[in-house]
Amino acid sequence: MFRSGFLIVLVFGVALAPPAGAQTPNKTAAGPASGAPNAVSLAENGHCIEALPLLRKNLSQVKARDLKLKSAVEGVRCAMTLHQTDAALEFLRVLTREFPKDPDALYVAVHAYSDLSALTSQKLATDSPGSCQAHELLAEAFESQGKWDDAEKEYRGILKDNPALPGIHFRLGRLLLSRPNPAPEAANEARQQFIEELKIDPKNAGAEYVLGEMARQSQQWDEAVNHFSRAAKLDPQFGEAFLGLGMALNAEKQYANAVAPLETAVKLEPSNPDAHYNLAMAFARSGHKEEGDKEFAIHQSLIGERGGNTGQGSSSNQPQ
């Protein structure tokens, strides 16, 4: 069952009663409502019941940018207040499509999507409190709050009833590695959880990557290369997997073979200093000094922007 304290406090007041009298039709204020400016005025004065259908009707016809922004913002607010999620999504699409860099639009969108997520969580908790999905959501909430024991209990409970449910072994393994002061046996148990996950879902690139990282940290280079290679193949946009593969190949002194995955890592994560440093090393030690110097210069620039040395390189250990 879900526990009290799990549900999120909503920003737009979705879970709260509207202000007293705010939604009572006011014949004097409303009048014969027509046109976007009148609809915005109605919404701003708390008459969302009358304003919302007018805002929806007129939004596509509004040409003035400022008026359209106000219409969409007030539309989101009224739709969320009246629990009309379909209408809220219509206005949010306008905000994110036509005002992608406007701070007011972004602020409203952040809170609206948060509220929509919370509403859906409430519905899941109310309609299916005993489902594995509800328990998984609760485990994720505990995990985000740092309540490691509670989260672990939820994940293990899910696996007890649904041992072949995709994703849960991975989440449990990740939790075992993430919690502070893990038990000595945590790493081995986490590794087994990732292996079990891959038996259920062989396409889980995250599980392959973490197994690769664990192998790399243990200097088991062949195993690390195999896991990173599979993770990169499963997810061609997984920059960290390509970086891990390149680092493992560098550690095995396979510098020429490391160049290609590290070039991909740099392309996918151009602001990652580790990627540039390892590519510099691969270039320099495979006989491409000029390319290596270029990558090392980028690495130095990136760590300079971050206010100090990060990653694996510094001014005293330039790849030779």
- Per residue in 235-281, pLDDT (tens digit) is 999 999 999 999 999 999 999 999 999 999 999 999 999 999 999 99
CB atoms within 10 A of CB 119: 19
For residue 27, the model assigns a pLDDT of: 40
Q: Which amino acid is at 46?
A: G
Which DSSP category does 10 fall into? P
CA atoms of 180 and 205, how far apart (whole Å): 25
CA atoms of 55 and 44, how far apart (whole Å): 12
CA atoms of 155 and 165, how far apart (whole Å): 11
Domain with CATH 1.25.40.10 in the chain: 130-202, 226-320
**CATH no. for 130-202:** 1.25.40.10
Nearest CA to 238 out of 211, 265, 216 is that of 265
Evaluate whether 205 touches 225 at the Cβ level (below 8 Å): no
Burial class (CB in 10 A: 0-12, 13-18, 19+), 248: buried
pTM beyond 0.95: no
Q: Which two tokens stand for residue 306?
A: 């971050």
Which DSSP category does 201 fall into? -
CA atoms of 258 and 248, how far apart (whole Å): 8
Asked if pLDDT for residue 88 goes beyond 90, the answer is: yes
Residues 6+ apart with CB under 8 A from 268: 237, 238, 239, 242
Asked if pLDDT for residue 315 goes beyond 90, the answer is: no
CATH fold for domain 226-320: 1.25.40
CA atoms of 86 and 93, how far apart (whole Å): 11
pLDDT digits (tens, 9 = 90+) for 30-62: 333 348 899 999 999 999 999 999 999 999 889
CA atoms of 74 and 59, how far apart (whole Å): 11
Asked if pLDDT for residue 68 goes beyond 80, the answer is: yes
Q: Which amino acid is at 244?
A: G
CA atoms of 197 and 120, how far apart (whole Å): 27
- Hey, what CATH class is 27-127 in? mainly alpha
Q: Which amino acid is at 11?
A: V
pLDDT digits (tens, 9 = 90+) for 179-211: 898 888 999 999 999 999 999 999 999 999 999
pLDDT digits (tens, 9 = 90+) for 100-150: 999 999 999 999 999 998 888 888 888 998 899 999 999 998 998 999 999
